[in-house]
Amino acid sequence: MKRIKNILLACTVVLTLGVFVGCSQSGDSKNEGSETRKVQTVKGEVEIPKDPKKIVDISGSSEELVLLGYTPVGTANVDSYETDKVPAYVKNKLGNSKVVGHSMMDTMDVESIIELQPDLIIMSPRQEKIYDQLKSVAPVVMLEDKSNDWEAKFKDVAKLFDKENEAQKWLDEYYKKAKNVGDEIKKANGDATYLAVLATSGQFMVFTEGGIGTVLKEDMGLKQPKNMPKQDSITLPTVSLEGLTKIDADNLIVIGTKSELDSLKSNSVWNKIKAVKNSKVTELPASPYFSQAYNPIGREILLDNLKEEIIKK
């Protein structure tokens, strides 16, 4: 009887140790898979996963995430003219990401975000009013709003994941390509000036210090006309058709819907513009070109698009 008791006691000890070891190993495994790092955000210091697997981005930084090796499960990077879809030029990279809103709006489809079960959410101050809701779902990083400074935004996203070097390498290669494309255009067209506008409701939004305008001026090194309207914020300055004639660019890049572009062709004032008379107008569809240059993947693709369109004129 005593022997049986000893055997039972030994079995109990072995089982107990087995459970303890099993739990210990399970705990260690969990800790290994949930390493975190602390990052500075608009809302102060936040602890985030070191290697997040399910990111929902509503800040408009989804292209930056893709370039850094993270494909978000939820995104608000949408086409400005088809807001239920990601832009066509990045569909092959973001096509499986669920659209949960528009990054320039102040609210999102919170229910869809919750259903995605993210382990990290990235947002901007524009969505301040849903911050507390989202904070209960997953760690939330609120980035500064740098919508009109695409390079600074890219670097901010890279800093979250300690990938500044990867971002800088991509930027260096981009700027090298942009300069080469600019040199090719200057070689083909000489010392000409370039103006990019968005045609909308009979007026023109001028890309003075934003979007495609900075690709032309800053990245490619192409000249702008002297009479450019000033831009003091993210909002593009707007001019009438008569105002557009006074800017007097050698080359005009006009972005617009098909109906907007078609209506210009029969306009007598439009047909008196120097670039129009000299067949130096490049027409680009509003979807996706209006907002394409505000994002890194779109910006790089735009280099080849512009080179092809401008040089053939």
> What CATH number does residue 265 fall under?
3.40.50.1980
For residue 225 the two structure tokens come to 């006309």
Distances, alpha carbon 190 to alpha carbons 245, 273, 309, in Å = 22, 20, 16
Q: How confident is the model at residue 34 (pLDDT cuts 50, 70, 90)?
A: low
Considering the domain architecture, whether residues 178 and 157 belong to the same structural domain is answered as: no
Q: What is the pLDDT of residues 21-32, one digit of tens each?
A: 343 333 333 344
Task: Give CA–CA dist 140/132, Å, rounded.
Answer: 9
In this prediction, residue 92 has a pLDDT band, given cuts at 50, 70 and 90, of: very high
What is the spatial distance between Cα 37 and Cα 161, in angstroms, rounded to a whole number?
Answer: 9
Tens of pLDDT, residue by residue over 45-82, are 999 999 999 999 999 999 999 999 999 999 999 999 99
Last residue of a domain, one of 142, 162, 182: 162
At residue 311 the predicted structure's pLDDT band, cuts being 50, 70 and 90, is: confident
For the chain, state the CA radius of gyration.
26
> Could you tell me the residue range of the domain that residue 101 belongs to?
36-162
The residues, ordered by sequence, that sit 6+ positions from 222 with a Cβ below 8 Å of its Cβ are 182, 185, 186, 192, 193, 194, 216
Same domain? 133 vs 199: no
Same domain, 253 and 211: yes
**∠ at Cα 13 (7, 15), nearest 5°?**
100
138: DSSP letter: S
Pair 194, 304 in one domain: yes
Say yes or no: 45 and 78 in one domain: yes
pLDDT of residue 313: 60
Domain boundary among 162, 195, 213: 162
Of 210, 197, 62, the closest CA to residue 148 belongs to 210
| Structural domain contains residue 133 | yes
Taking the alpha carbons at both ends of the chain, their separation in whole angstroms is 102
pLDDT at 307: 92
289 domain residue, yes or no: yes
Find the mean pLDDT for residues 206-225. Answer: 95
Say if 86 falls within a structural domain.
yes
pLDDT at residue 4, rounded to an integer: 39
Tens-digit pLDDT profile for residues 182-210:
999 999 999 999 999 999 988 999 999 98
Residue with tokens 């800053």: 218
Crossing angle of the two packed helices 296-311 and 164-189, in degrees rounded to 10: 10
| In a shared domain, residues 157 and 237 | no
What pLDDT is stored for residue 20 in this prediction?
35
- Is 26 contained in some domain? no
Q: What average pLDDT score do residues 216-243 get?
A: 92
- Tell me how far apart the alpha carbons of residues 261 and 249 are, in angstroms, rounded to a whole number: 18
pLDDT at 234: 79
**Which is more confident, 148 or 127?**
127
Are residue 214 and residue 120 in the same domain, yes or no? no
DSSP annotation of 280 reads -
d(CA 214, CA 268): 30
Distance from C-alpha of 164 to C-alpha of 145, rounded to nearest angstrom: 19
- Strand, helix or coil at 283? strand
Residue-wise pLDDT for 159-175, tens only, equals 999 999 999 999 999 99
Clarify whether residues 99 and 198 are in a common domain.
Answer: no
What is the Cα–Cα distance from 151 to 33, expressed in whole angstroms? 31
Amino acid at 182: G
Same domain assignment for residues 114 and 195: no
Question: Using 50, 70 and 90 to split pLDDT, how confident is the model at 18?
Answer: very low
As given in the structure block, the two tokens for residue 183 are: 């040199």
Question: Which phi and psi (to 5°) does residue 60 adopt?
Answer: 90, 20
Q: Give dist(CA 62, CA 291) in Å, integer.
A: 14
Residues 305 and 188 in one domain: yes
* Mean pLDDT (whole number) for 228-237: 87
Same domain flag for 109 and 157? yes
Token pair 């569809």: residue: 285
Position 12 scores a pLDDT of 40
DSSP bridge pairs for 75: 57, 99
Distance CA 289, CA 292 (A): 5
Q: What is the mean pLDDT of the chain?
A: 89
The residue-averaged pLDDT of 274-282 equals: 95
Asked if 176 and 131 sit in the same domain, the reply is: no
**Amino acid 235: pLDDT:** 86
The 3-class SS string of 84-126 reads CCCCHHHHHHHCCCEECCCCCCCCCCHHHHHHCCCCEEEECHH
Query: Is residue 13 assigned to a domain?
Result: no
Asked if residue 3 belongs to a domain, the reply is no
pLDDT of residue 239: 96
Total count of domains within the chain: 2
Contact, 81 vs 286, CB < 8 A? yes
Residue 17 has pLDDT above 80, yes or no: no
Would you call 36 helix, strand, or coil by DSSP? strand
Work out the percent of the chain whose per-residue pLDDT is above 90.
82
Residue 21, in any domain of the structure: no
pLDDT reported for residue 105: 96
The last residue of one of the domains, among 162, 181, 216, is: 162
Residue 68 domain-assigned (yes or no): yes
Question: Using one digit for the tens of pLDDT, what is the confidence trace for 124-141?
Answer: 999 999 999 999 999 999
